[in-house]
C-alpha cells in the first residue's frame, strides 16, 4: 500500500513541479518576446490559470506525504540512520520544514493570484511564486534522492 501511495505522491509532485515551474518562468519573463520562440510562448498561457491547480496539487502532495511519512519514519529512517546517511536525513528534515512554510504561504499566494491585473501585487506575486517554486523543487529533489538511497520499503 505504501508503495502505491508513494507512486501517486510522485505523480502529483511531478504535475505540481511542472505547473509551478511554468508559472514562475512566465511571471519573471517580460511581456515582450520573440514571437514563436519557446520562451516567448510562456506568456501566452495566463499565469493566473495555474494558481488553483497549484494550491490543490500542493495540498494533495503534502497530505499524501504526511501519510507516507508514517511508513518512512517506521521502516526507512532507522535503516538510513544505521547506514550513517545523516546528511540525507538532515536535508529531509529541512524539506519537512520548508513544506510547512509553503503551506502557510498558500493562502497569501492564492489571494495574490486572484487579482492578477493589479500591478500593486506584481512583485508580491512574483516573490511568493518564486518562494513556492524553490520549496517545491527542493522537496522534489530531496525526496527523490532520499528514496533512491535505499529504495522505498526495502
| Per-residue pLDDT tens digits of the chain, which is 154 residues long | 788 998 999 999 999 999 999 999 888 876 665 666 666 666 666 777 889 999 999 999 999 999 998 888 888 889 889 999 999 999 999 999 999 999 999 999 999 888 766 667 788 889 999 999 999 999 999 988 888 886 654 4
Q: Within a domain: residue 45?
A: no
Q: Within a domain: residue 116?
A: yes
pLDDT at position 75 is 85
Q: Within a domain: residue 118?
A: yes
Q: Within a domain: residue 24?
A: no
Q: Within a domain: residue 13?
A: yes
**pTM to 2 decimals?**
0.86
Q: Within a domain: residue 28?
A: no
Burial class of 144 by CB neighbour count within 10 A (0 to 12, 13 to 18, 19+): exposed
Long-range contacts of 70-78, Cβ-Cβ distance < 8 Å, separation of 24 or more: 71/2, 71/5, 71/153, 72/152, 75/2, 75/153, 76/150, 76/152, 76/153
Among candidate residues 96, 87, 76, 90, the one with its CA nearest the CA of residue 147? 76
Q: Within a domain: residue 39?
A: no
Q: Within a domain: residue 83?
A: yes
- Number of domains into which the chain is organized: 1
**Domain of 63, in residue numbers:** 2-18+51-150
Amino acid at each position: 500500500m505504501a508503495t502505491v501511495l508513494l507512486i501517486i505522491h510522485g505523480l502529483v509532485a511531478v504535475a505540481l513541479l511542472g505547473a509551478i515551474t511554468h508559472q514562475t518562468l512566465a511571471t519573471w519573463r517580460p511581456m515582450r518576446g520573440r514571437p514563436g520562440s519557446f520562451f516567448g510562448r510562456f506568456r501566452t498561457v495566463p499565469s493566473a490559470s495555474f494558481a488553483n491547480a497549484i494550491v490543490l496539487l500542493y495540498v494533495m502532495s503534502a497530505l499524501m506525504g504526511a501519510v507516507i511519512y508514517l511508513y518512512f519514519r517506521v521502516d526507512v529512517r532507522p535503516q538510513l540512520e544505521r547506514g550513517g546517511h545523516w546528511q540525507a536525513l538532515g536535508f529531509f528534515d529541512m524539506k519537512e520544514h520548508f513544506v510547512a512554510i509553503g503551506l502557510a504561504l498558500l493562502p497569501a499566494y492564492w489571494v495574490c493570484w486572484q487579482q492578477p491585473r493589479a500591478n500593486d501585487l506584481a512583485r508580491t506575486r512574483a516573490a511568493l511564486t518564486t518562494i513556492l517554486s524553490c520549496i517545491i523543487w527542493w522537496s522534489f529533489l530531496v525526496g527523490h534522492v532520499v528514496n533512491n538511497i535505499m529504495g522505498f520499503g526495502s
